[in-house]
């Protein structure tokens, strides 16, 4: 069972994603801010990180950069999931921010699940 780290500060959204992922058969871990995300990425070794951009303590850009800098976490696939629109190009153009997927909020649950499956399939 693949383990997904949900990095998201909005509790309602966390609940929705968590419910959807569990229903789809994934195991979930949750981080409510940027620092927690980094810590859990290192300690819990998730198979994929669902990363919000605007989070307390550390924003998603920085989290992603730090994940990529660390040998222990650099290979964990990241899907950015943000309400701050129009960042798609930034994440595909900027070398240091390169991510495996990008979803704009609000997202369709099915699309999110499909994206996760697609990225995990590619990585395995």
Partner 1 sequence: MANEKILVIDDERLIVELMEDILKKEGYIVKGFTDGEDALKCVLEEKFDLVLVDLKMPKIDGIEVLKKIKEVSPQTEVIIVTAYATIDTAVESIKLGAYDYITKPFDIDNLLQKLKRCLEKKSLVEEVDTLKDVISIYKVTRALSSCIGLKELFDLMLKLLCEVLNADSSSILLLDENTKTLKIEAYYNLKLQDAEKIRIKVGERIAGWVAQNGNTLLLIDGIDKDPRFRHLEPRPEIKCAMVAPLKIEDKIIGVLTLNSLRDTRHFTEREQKLFTIFADNAALAVRDARAYNKLKELDGLKSEFISNVSHELRTPLTAISGSIDLILNTFSDEISDGVKRLLNITKNNSDRLVKLVNEILDFSKIEAGVLIISKGEIDISFLVRQTIEELRTLADEKKLSLNSEVPNEPIYVMADSNRIKQVIVNLIGNSLKFTKEGGITVGVRLLEKEVVVFVKDTGIGIPEESKNKIFERFYRVDCSLKKETSGFGIGLSLCKSIVEAHNGKIWFESKLGEGSTFYFSLPIEKSKK
Binding site for partner 1 (CB under 8 A): 10, 12-13, 16-17, 19-20, 23, 54, 83-86, 89, 105-110
Give the list of residues 6+ apart from residue 12 with CB closer than 8 angstroms, or none: none
Residue number with CB closer to partner 1 (13 or 42): 13
Residue number with CB closer to partner 1 (11 or 45): 11
Query: What is the nearest approach in angstroms of partner 1 to the Cβ of residue 53?
Result: 9
Query: What is the nearest approach in angstroms of partner 1 to the Cβ of residue 51?
Result: 15
Q: What is d(CA 4, CA 77) in angstroms, rounded to the nearest whole number?
A: 10
The β-bridge partners of 41 are: none
Query: What is the nearest approach in angstroms of partner 1 to the Cβ of residue 66?
Result: 23
Cross-sheet strand order for the sheet of 27-31: 27-31, 3-7, 48-51, 78-82, 101-104
């Amino acid at each position: 069972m693949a383990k997904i780290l949900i990095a998201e500060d909005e509790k309602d959204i966390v609940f929705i994603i968590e419910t959807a992922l569990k229903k789809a058969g994934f195991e979930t871990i949750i981080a409510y801010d940027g620092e927690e995300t980094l810590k859990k990425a290192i300690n819990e070794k998730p198979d994929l990180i669902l990363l919000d951009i605007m989070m307390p303590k550390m924003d998603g850009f920085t989290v992603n950069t730090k994940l990529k800098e660390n040998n222990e976490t650099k290979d964990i696939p990241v899907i950015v999931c943000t309400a701050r629109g129009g960042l798609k190009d930034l994440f595909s153009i900027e070398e240091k921010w390169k991510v495996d997927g990008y979803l704009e909020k609000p997202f369709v649950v099915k699309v999110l699940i499909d994206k996760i499956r697609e990225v995990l399939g590619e990585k395995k």
